[in-house]
Chain A
Amino acid sequence: MSEETVNAIIEKYRGQPSSLIHALVEIQHANHWLPREVMHQVADALQVPFAQVMQIASFYKTFSLTPKGRHEVHVCTGMTCHLRGAAKLQAKVEELTGLKDGQTDADAKFTFATGACLGSCSIAPELIVDGKHYGRMTPDRIEDVLKQYE
């Protein structure tokens, strides 16, 4: 299923080198990571050097060059969240999942990432799982949040 979606995306942007980033973003959303073979296909279809595809894919942390877990766990480390205790949230997630920033667990269940300001500073500090915001978070409530995810 994913392969069809990915092929459809590549076809949509065939012959449009300036749409490289659009194409990669869509593939990342659909497939949750960018396999090397797929990047070769993108390079061929969009007529850009493979090295350029790789450069862009490695430049932005939104793209993953390795498979990601089913659920993305994100702790915001923007300035407000940082002042309001993001470091403690990060430490707790590391403790509960065994994952450091950027890592995926062996069961491919969780991928953990930290990153800067998502604009919900008023409900700092934040934990975001699969795009759902859990604001005004405290370390003791994290375990219950993560338990909801299979």
Chain B
Amino acid sequence: MTEIVLTIDDRQVKAEAGMTVLQAAQKAGIYIPTLCHHEQLEAYGGCRLCMVEVESRGWTSYVVSCLYPVAKDIIVRTRSEKVDRIRKVLVEELMAHAPDAPELVKLAEEYGADRNRFEKEASFCVLCGLCVRYCDEVKKKNAVSFFDNGSVRQIKFVPEVAKNECWDCQECFALCPTSYAQAAYLLTEALAFPGQRKIASRVAKKAAKPRMVIPIMAVPMTGQNSH
């Protein structure tokens, strides 16, 4: 693999062609905050917290390091007045949803973000998509997904799939930075297939009996304002 040398925060960093700036930084022990990033998942570029300043051939630009490929002789700054301001505002926007999320609280302290700057939103999901992408790319079950678009985008469990898959898995709960995933699953279960868990364990004890199928009630999960 070709070796590429770039500068990150005034340090010479050696990286391999095909790496992203984030990967190169992590390899060199340089910290860049992330939220929607996960090693097992394709880089998403949704939260924008990993934005860095890149100077290349005389041009300065702001890019997300989780996706930006390393290149020869680029100069990367993981902190600057502008980068810090971007992170501060992004954290403030996210804290309108989840002011108590541990990762956000830590970032707020570091960047001087005001958790009360924006009016509190109804949903504490920050739409990082870790649960959705994990279920799609790793588990390949697609039990949870994005719905709607724009500012009313939301993450919901798909009852028909969740009832068969989620209780035995639950792996996305730990990924969620705000514990919304777990809450959303439990709400889905309560509304769409209540009692399933108890019945399932009873059935497991009586191996001879066929598994009971709970009919799904079509409970619309929307309740948000429609455009």
Contacts and interface: CB of A to CB of B under 8 A. Distances in A.
A135 interface: no
A59 B143 CA distance: 17
Contacts of B220: 65
Contacts of B226: 101-102
Quick one: which of A40, A54, A58, A65 has the most chain B CB within 10 A?
A: A58
A106 B149 CA distance: 27
Interface stretch (A6-14, A17-25, A44-52, A124-132): A44-52
A55 to B, nearest CB: 5
A85 to B, nearest CB: 21
Interface in B183-227: 218, 220, 226-227
Contacts of A52: 142, 145
B158 A59 contact: no
Contact of A51 (B148, B149, B161, B218): B161
A126 B218 CA distance: 37
A40 B160 contact: yes
B146 interface: yes
A29 interface: no
Interface string B127-166: 0000000001000001111111100000000101100000
B227 A51 contact: no
Contacts of B145: 51-52, 54-55
A55 B218 contact: no
Quick one: which of B142, B148, B160 has the most chain A CB within 10 A?
A: B142
B158 A54 contact: yes
A116 to B, nearest CB: 11
A136 interface: no
B129 to A, nearest CB: 11
Contacts of B146: 55
A36 interface: yes
Given A49-B142, A61-B227, A102-B227, A55 B160 contact: no
Contacts of A58: 147-149
B181 to A, nearest CB: 14
B227 A59 contact: no
A101 B158 contact: no
Interface of B: 136, 142-149, 158, 160-161, 218, 220, 226-227
Interface of A: 36, 40, 49-52, 54-55, 58-61, 65, 101-102
Q: What 8 A-B pairs are tightest by C-beta distance, nearest first?
A: A49-B142, A51-B145, A51-B142, A58-B147, A102-B226, A59-B149, A58-B148, A55-B145
9 contacts: A36-B218, A49-B142, A50-B158, A50-B161, A51-B143, A60-B149, A101-B226, A101-B227, A102-B227
